[in-house]
Structure 1
Amino acid sequence: MSSTGTSSAFDPLTTSFKTSAESREIGLRVFGKNGGKSRTAELLPLVVYFHGGFFTCGAVEDADGIASALSEKAVVVAVDYPLAGDDSFLDITEVAFEALQWAYDHADGLGADGTRVMVAGDQAGGNLAAAVAMIARDRLTPTTRGICLKGQILITPMLDPTQSTKSMKALGKCVCQEGWAAYLPSTSDALHPYAAPAQSRRLSGLVPALVITAQNDALRDEAEQYASSLIAAGVPVQVRRFAAESGQLVDPTHASFSSVISTIKQFIQDPA
């Protein structure tokens, strides 16, 4: 693990890992009160965060505000995952899953509790968080890797490439359309549950979820419909819809930002 800088509000510990497939360097920004320096301090839950955007845009630094705000209650590892275009959705989800593995393997050194791990993300990052939760369910057992996810935090997530919900249609033309087209260039790709969680018919066994939406967000309905599907599959789910306001919920200047952070902190402490 290579790193630079220190762990503070907007000066996170920066590091990276190499993917197993192509030895590609994937950047990480780590926020946390302990910063891996104090062995006597209480270990914090570990949250692996995937930044927002629409698969073709966004940057890991976009998560600085929410990651910093959560760092009093968790160690947050924000992932600079590859964007759509040169990589298939399977490549991108594999990178996201490897980031989870890296975070778990380095939890102790980061001052985090490897037995309390969650995935989180907004917009396209919410899609990746949901996909990683599925991959973890499908591949991991305590005897094979040791990772046992405790929860998934989905903030206005992009989950349905059909874009057929009422809230999506009400917006008219959305940048989501271009994002989905780049992420899933083949029609058959949209049938894969890791690409389109909302289309999955096998949701049982997933970890508890917190689904956060906004009244005026185009992604509202697909997120809440996914929450309903999770509940029907027996997955514990908490849903919180915030009032219509301008801007993104993860933006520290948003009127509901402090309430969003409070909601997430409560879920981190008690996902069940």
Structure 2
Amino acid sequence: MPLHPQVQAHLDRLAAANLAGLHTVTPDVARAGARRLTAASVGEPEPVAEVTERVLGTDAGDVPVRIYRPSGVPTGATGARPLPVVVFFHGGGYVLGDLDSHDGLARALANGSQSVVVSVGYPLAPENKFPDQPNAGYAATAWIADHAAALRIDPSRIAVAGDSAGGNLAAVVTLKARANGGPYIGFQLLIYPDLDFRRTNRSITELAGQYGNITREAQQWFMNHYLTTEAEKLNPLVSPLLEPDLTALPPAHIITAEYDALRDEGEEYGRRLAAAGVPVTVKRYDGMIHEFLRHPFDDAKVAIDDATAALRRFFDSGTGPRS
């Protein structure tokens, strides 16, 4: 399909801004530019019932989080079941992004899924290198599960979610939880996830530098900041698509976009999960681009509705920790 007209208008505005290539600037300059773009393009965030911030003292150090409680859900009734929780990891190539950049998406996920969303402010590169980010993401998820009563959440209904690099982190956290025997994670929502650092598939090569996708040079810029050695690209905790055994992982809902350079790896991961016996839904949104869920596009609302419906189905299923 052609680009959606709303997407084309967005890309035209980006082109008119004549932004410098990411690989030509420092991380601090890139972060400042990303914050300006977010403020100009993501729209007004929707209200939720409550937003609180705290710092979790985890085994991987202090991790800041922002906690969203959804609108329209009574929480004070005696005997009411605690709400489910989505542990959310923001995108940004492990260099950009923060709790503010994905505030709108976190709010939409909380209200749509009728769950508590805990958005995790994991440490960024290059100040922090792999494996600091997976360690922090896993430790934060374990802390949330261990402190469910204090957080007023249901430890039998925990999902992880993330977009782009955050989708990578959500997938990696499920691998670490399986290896460590917990915490229980019942579902994974992977939004145009970054899953293969080899950067060799068709969409990553053919769409680089087009339709808002970063260039090949910028791909390398992000990887150089995140990783210390070339060999780390082949580590399944960097490239989950390279994990040889995907059995016994949580059911998944994977979102991809037609004009996203990360499209093929997300869809291949879905096929590999299905082949390993993991229930999975993969939905591609035609005419859409990377990061489209963070923009006020009509199809972003459709995709969020689809994602939160998948979360609600898991939360309503009564599925809990496997014995």
Normalised by the size of structure 2, how large is the TM-score?
Answer: 0.74
Deviations 1:70-124 (A, max 9, x none): 2231100000001121323122111000110122123233332110001100011
Q: Aligned in 2, Cα 1:64/1:264: closer, same or farther, shift over 3 Å? A: same
Partner of 2:137: 96
Query: Comparing 245-254 with 42-51, which one deviates more in the overlay?
Result: 245-254
Could you tell me whether the CA contact under 8 Å between 2:236 and 2:242 is conserved in 1? Answer: yes
For the residues of structure 1 that align with 2:194 and 2:49, how far apart are their CA atoms? 27
Query: Comparing 180-189 with 26-35, which one deviates more in the overlay?
Result: 26-35
Could you tell me whether the CA contact under 8 Å between 2:198 and 2:234 is conserved in 1? Answer: no
Q: Secondary structure at the match of 1:118?
A: strand
Q: Which structure has the bigger radius of gyration?
A: 2
Write the letter of the residue equivalent to 1:97: Y
Could you tell me whether the CA contact under 8 Å between 2:261 and 2:290 is conserved in 1? Answer: no
Write the letter of the residue equivalent to 2:95: T
Query: Which has a greater percent of strand?
Result: 1
Q: Secondary structure at the match of 1:54?
A: coil
2:96 is the counterpart of 1:60: no
For the residues of structure 1 that align with 2:77 and 2:50, how far apart are their CA atoms? 21
Partner of 1:242: 285
Could you tell me whether the CA contact under 8 Å between 1:75 and 1:110 is conserved in 2? Answer: no
Tell me: higher relative CO, structure 1 or 2? Use CA pairs within 8 A at least 6 residues apart: 2
Could you tell me whether the CA contact under 8 Å between 1:10 and 1:68 is conserved in 2? Answer: no
- Structure 1 vs Structure 2: percent identity of aligned residues? 35
Normalised by the size of structure 1, how large is the TM-score?
Answer: 0.87
Write the letter of the residue equivalent to 1:243: D
Could you tell me whether the CA contact under 8 Å between 1:120 and 1:153 is conserved in 2? Answer: yes
Q: What's the C-alpha RMSD, in Å, of the aligned pairs?
A: 2.2
Could you tell me whether the CA contact under 8 Å between 2:130 and 2:228 is conserved in 1? Answer: no
Partner of 2:306: 263
What is the CA-CA distance between 1:248 and the residue it aligns to? 2.0
Query: Comparing 64-73 with 11-20, which one deviates more in the overlay?
Result: 11-20
Partner of 2:110: 71
For the residues of structure 1 that align with 2:303 and 2:275, how far apart are their CA atoms? 25
What is the CA-CA distance between 1:255 and the residue it aligns to? 2.5
What is the CA-CA distance between 1:36 and the residue it aligns to? 10
Partner of 1:85: 126
Could you tell me whether the CA contact under 8 Å between 2:258 and 2:285 is conserved in 1? Answer: yes
What is the CA-CA distance between 1:136 and the residue it aligns to? 0.6
2:64 to 22, 27, 47: 27
Q: Aligned in 2, Cα 1:39/1:188: closer, same or farther, shift over 3 Å? A: farther
Write the letter of the residue equivalent to 1:194: L
Partner of 1:136: 177
Q: Secondary structure at the match of 2:250?
A: coil
2:199 to 163, 169, 172: 163
Q: Aligned in 2, Cα 1:36/1:183: closer, same or farther, shift over 3 Å? A: farther
For the residues of structure 2 that align with 1:38 and 1:139, how far apart are their CA atoms? 35
Query: Which has a greater percent of helix?
Result: 2
Query: Comparing 163-172 with 30-39, which one deviates more in the overlay?
Result: 30-39
Could you tell me whether the CA contact under 8 Å between 2:52 and 2:68 is conserved in 1? Answer: yes
Q: Aligned in 2, Cα 1:164/1:214: closer, same or farther, shift over 3 Å? A: same
Q: Secondary structure at the match of 1:45?
A: strand
